[in-house]
Structure 1
């Protein structure tokens, strides 16, 4: 493909916009809560509403891309994301802000998965790891500039201005995608599974709404519990529906593929801990430690610097270790750095906080690069859109659970202390709890074959193995 080298950079525009937006919002949460007249913890709904929207619409992202063309959907999704950004800037209540974030999520649901689908279908398998790393490098610039920029705008201007950052970036992305991104589509697209779409949409939305709305505010506990129950039942019905439907909206049979199954299950556990960080850390620094938005953002951005640095080394590390060893060891290391956040106090030197966040960002980045690659090691091009839809939907669910679980532990810790307000001491238990969940992923990764994804990683255990080993095409030795 003539413009294949440009594809990762163009698609990274969407990731850059989405990641900048999420990190800017995280830094500005306390000021947004103050302006909207609500509790900062209540703004977990602003984060989870976005993830709810992603989980609802991601399952059909592959289908609409196959049906109407990847470039068409990709550019339209950027437009929807920009509209949601403008609605966020105009919001005057918690309900309006949550709804605007939902609209943003509808755009993000098509924007990033469809962009990744174009990339996965356009590069050779031997170049997937490098292409995904290249895709993510420009996108990681967003989390680097997002926290200090969001803090600066919030402190010296107004938080509403942070959402206008997306507009020029989105316009550039639409122009570049229109020129260079191929309008990849399938000629024999099956009919849309409307029943499955409704079941998964209701299931994910109510399940995550129930988790996110629990606590000492927002809606009564009985309604939250009812949302969780109905959402769970809806997803259970979908499992039975998918078995009887020739073209389900989420292809659960892909979980029979060993590398994909381990990537999804282990990755979901690891992401629960990681998903809580953007919510817990800025709140701890600002509400708990009393830092300004700018001071908070000037600390938290360093994690993205570590992530960016590690992207340049991921391929070489995988060549030496292979996927299995790296994912197991790195799961425990990454969880350890998540737990380390819980030991911060107002007296902790800022240079020490930055070092821990920097190194932790390195290890989390390495884990995600590996997970995003190994998950598609045994997936055919025809199944790629289904795999990206299922994987992306479950990723958003796990991130949302991380936010809700972290907020729940903070509130529980405050309740045990008898404090009406959240204090710095309430955040430690939350970080430690989500870190334990992330560490559990290491045991899931242990089920991988030592040669899993060897063609992608280039691990020498396969290079040195004699031809009679029966590895076939050199993938994972199923």
Structure 2
């Protein structure tokens, strides 16, 4: 059973079912991960995998879906955008819903909604219907992971957080990498409906496990929903995500996308202003006063942009420039997964031995270096060298994301963990969405940039420039990491 807090203080809330809506994380928490905590962590990991897979796998089947529904492959982009937009808009609401209705009720409802919407997506008969159902699917996904992660961390001692987070983070690394290969196989040997039908058995297993494992009732003293904060925040994040989609579409005039992006930043500024002043804000920005949390949100967001771009660019490079098949390119991209898994057993040792500042800075440098290396790939590059480069990139992704997601909760007080979890999930989701949009934007910039610098351009040069540009966020994350104190994250190190 998930442990309830042993004490309560100002702002710390109990639930009426004996499980905490906030987290009892600190020196007094029980050390050592229980079998139930491990099971909950793996359950949330599975849900995270479903959510991330559905955010990327549809892109590979856009031509097939378009032909089936009688629309262009470009129009099918709305199916992806609707899903990502819904995630960005609704994630900030997850914290209040958890406090108001309880983690168990929200988590189970999210799984049911996501699974049912997946089944309905497979049965969609036109584009408008499919887009609407993707919105419902995104609503379920927006609630699953933030709520599940909050439950998984409940009752954990600080030194146990890295192991629990490592269970949850790996699907975010695997799903975008596996999607091109899985999507290629499904669209080659089956039809696009199976892109959604594969969620049905996964959802049923997740619901059965959640029914047994997840507990947590409503928190007492929950304030009213901050409707104005929800409107400003959702509008700002939604507009920012859609602006990224417009920038990624080569047919969109740049002034239109830039105008929407400016409006999005204005809305986000208004949301931040409101959240600082509201009596019961949707998200408590006071969590940003914790230095390690603030550094994790800012540095982790920059790191995520580079991470999300790699699985998008590599398959396009292999297929559009090198002329490789979807299956062959997808198989090579899977070496990112090899790096993710290969480094996992050593991640705890590395952070324990060298500290968070050193390892976060190193992961940023290695990720940027491997992206720069990808800029020099050609169709004649030995496959073993491509595999080694991509594997090293996967290892850097794994270390960096595990570090940022762990360090975020190192010094946050127990009574602010729910708000910290919501804010961190919102920032991560937004950065991941912008990362996917940043890849085609970098490609658009690559052509005129290489023409200006070299006097000529080509598709291969555009990809080279894109990889170089997308290495910059990783370097920005590195700079952010070097500003951490040497003792950052020491509470997490055994």
TM-score class, shorter: 0.7 to 0.9
Show the counterpart of 2:485: 449
- SS of residue matched to 1:249: coil
Q: Distance in 1 between matches of 2:266 and 2:250?
A: 25
- Residue 311 (structure 2) pairs with residue 292 (structure 1): no
Q: Distance in 1 between matches of 2:390 and 2:52?
A: 17
Residue 29 of structure 1: CA displacement?
Answer: 5.0
Q: Which residue, 182, 199, 206 being the options, matches 2:232?
A: 199
Q: Distance in 1 between matches of 2:117 and 2:319?
A: 26
Unaligned runs of 5+ in 1: 459-478
Residue 178 of structure 1: CA displacement?
Answer: 0.7
Residue 255 of structure 1: CA displacement?
Answer: 1.3
- SS of residue matched to 2:198: helix
- SS of residue matched to 2:193: helix
Show the counterpart of 1:434: 470
- SS of residue matched to 2:89: helix
- Residue 402 (structure 2) pairs with residue 402 (structure 1): no
Q: Distance in 1 between matches of 2:416 and 2:73?
A: 44
**Structure-2 change in CA distance of 1:115 and 1:34 (3 Å):** same
Q: Which residue, 138, 160, 163 being the options, matches 1:130?
A: 163
- Residue 426 (structure 2) pairs with residue 393 (structure 1): yes
On the 8 A contact 1:328/1:443 being kept in 2, the answer is yes
Show the counterpart of 1:270: 303
On the 8 A contact 1:155/1:292 being kept in 2, the answer is no
Show the counterpart of 1:70: 103
- SS of residue matched to 1:345: coil
Show the counterpart of 2:405: 372
Residue 337 of structure 1: CA displacement?
Answer: 1.5
Show the counterpart of 2:195: 162
Unaligned runs of 5+ in 2: 3-35, 452-456
On the 8 A contact 1:140/1:308 being kept in 2, the answer is no
Q: Distance in 2 between matches of 1:289 and 1:43?
A: 25
Q: Distance in 1 between matches of 2:433 and 2:172?
A: 21
> Mean Cα displacement is larger for which, 154-163 or 27-36?
27-36
Q: Distance in 2 between matches of 1:386 and 1:18?
A: 22
Q: Distance in 2 between matches of 1:43 and 1:288?
A: 23
On the 8 A contact 2:62/2:73 being kept in 1, the answer is no
Q: TM-score scaled by structure 1?
A: 0.87
**Structure-2 change in CA distance of 1:285 and 1:165 (3 Å):** same
Q: Distance in 2 between matches of 1:144 and 1:232?
A: 30
Q: Which residue, 132, 146, 151 being the options, matches 1:113?
A: 146
> Mean Cα displacement is larger for which, 79-88 or 308-317?
79-88
Q: Which residue, 340, 350, 373 being the options, matches 2:383?
A: 350
Residue 22 of structure 1: CA displacement?
Answer: 3.9
Residue 51 of structure 1: CA displacement?
Answer: 2.9
Q: Distance in 1 between matches of 2:125 and 2:145?
A: 28
User: What is the aligned length?
Assistant: 455
Show the counterpart of 2:91: 58
Q: Which residue, 406, 414, 422 being the options, matches 1:381?
A: 414
Q: Distance in 2 between matches of 1:222 and 1:87?
A: 37
Show the counterpart of 2:372: 339
Residue 219 of structure 1: CA displacement?
Answer: 4.7
Q: Distance in 2 between matches of 1:297 and 1:314?
A: 26
Q: TM-score scaled by structure 2?
A: 0.84
Show the counterpart of 2:30: none
Q: Which residue, 11, 35, 43 being the options, matches 1:10?
A: 43
- Indicate the RMSD between aligned Cα atoms, in angstroms: 2.7
Q: Distance in 1 between matches of 2:489 and 2:278?
A: 30
Residue 385 of structure 1: CA displacement?
Answer: 1.4
Q: Distance in 1 between matches of 2:172 and 2:479?
A: 30
- Residue 344 (structure 2) pairs with residue 311 (structure 1): yes
Q: Distance in 1 between matches of 2:107 and 2:265?
A: 31
> Mean Cα displacement is larger for which, 29-38 or 312-321?
29-38
